[in-house]
Amino acid sequence: MTTAVIAATGLFTPEHSISNEELVAAYNAFAERFNEQHAAGIAAGDLEALTPSSVEFIEKASGIKSRFVIDKAGVLDPTRMVPNIPERSNDELSVLAEMAVKAAQDAIAAWGKPVSEIGAVLCAASNMQRPYPAMAIEVQQALGIDGFAFDMNVACSSATFGIKTAADFIASGSVKAVLMVNPEICSAHLNFRDRDSHFIFGDVATAVIVEASDQAGPGGWDVLGTRLKTVMSNNIRNNFGFLNKAALPTGEVESVPANGLTDKMFVQQGRKVFKDVVPMVSDMIVDHAADLGLDPAALKRLWLHQANINMNQFIGRKVLGREPSPDENVIILDDYANTSSAGSIIAFHLHQDGLAPGDTGLICSFGAGYSAGTVFVRKR
């Protein structure tokens, strides 16, 4: 059986960034205006007054300090608080595909081989901008790749599920190399009018080239084992879709209640998610390591899903059996925020230095579904 190698990775980061200070100022201006406009209803008990946000609240709850976004002005406009992303014609490269192509080009340049050697393209992401044609096929065409392409969505775990799928294609002999892209415009699905979640997400795109070991050049990472898990839960949910469309909150504050679109955008029960997901993922990592004959305490680096610093720190302690150093448990939340499926790949892409051939590490993601994926790798 042919084994798989992660041969190269790529990253596209939008040019616009929003600090916590900027985000809090925009939200608080919206909340103050909302409370003034609905003072009578609040006094009568028909509505709840909106509580101000703060930088301290955000950083304690998440560890996030800033986030990159496709559109900054729309998010920070207190009368809008949604990114303004102009619609493109069907003849133009779509926004999501454009991001994916840029990340893919970064990975392909690092790989140093022609795209003619890639046999499949997977677009694995949470926030697809349309049902069909598949984003992956658009990316495939833009890059001039033959073979086949398709989309897959397992929320924040999409990238690890994508790596597993790519490795299985290689093991079966279907293809010799797979391009897997993770374009995420999370800001379009985030309710910036909700104090409890307005700070969580950012936008980004990542790419991974998975290649057969018998044709891989020097460097890269041997994929030692992959494992996936799903358990149904409504504690993280987004109901927006073509069967239950709702107008996005692009109007004035007066016309759109603060919670009027709650179930059509990202919602979560954070405490329940923490309680359910942290032990599930920690046990999954330890069990998978044991089945591969690996000592989890000997892992040199953890590239975990970047959802919440408290979750990552807890999982790191459980897996390593001690307090991890910043070099061992990589955190990129402070700059990128939660970027859904792309988070663990950003961490992996940016923080591979300092490891020697033979060192082992873990790429792991977890999120809505619930879903979780583990990919153990060894530096070649």
- Which residues are catalytically annotated? 156
Report the distance separating Cα 329 and Cα 344, nearest Å.
11
Q: Taking a C-beta distance cutoff of 8 angstroms, is the pair 235, 276 a contact?
A: yes
| Dihedral class, residue 8 (left if φ above 0, else alpha if ψ from -120 to 50, else beta) | beta
Length of the chain: 380
Encoded tokens for 144: 């001039």
Strand 177-185 to strand 120-124: parallel, antiparallel, or no bridges (unpaired)? parallel
For 168, other C-beta atoms within 10 Å of its C-beta total 13
Place of tokens 């022609």: 114
Encoded tokens for 335: 């700059």
Report the distance separating Cα 68 and Cα 104, nearest Å.
19
Q: Which residues contact 200 (CB under 8 A, 6 or more apart)?
A: 62, 64, 186, 190, 266, 337, 338
C-alpha 40 chain-centroid distance: 41
Q: Taking a C-beta distance cutoff of 8 angstroms, is the pair 348, 209 a contact?
A: no
HSE-CB at 65 with a 13 A cutoff on CA atoms is 4
Q: Taking a C-beta distance cutoff of 8 angstroms, is the pair 125, 90 a contact?
A: no
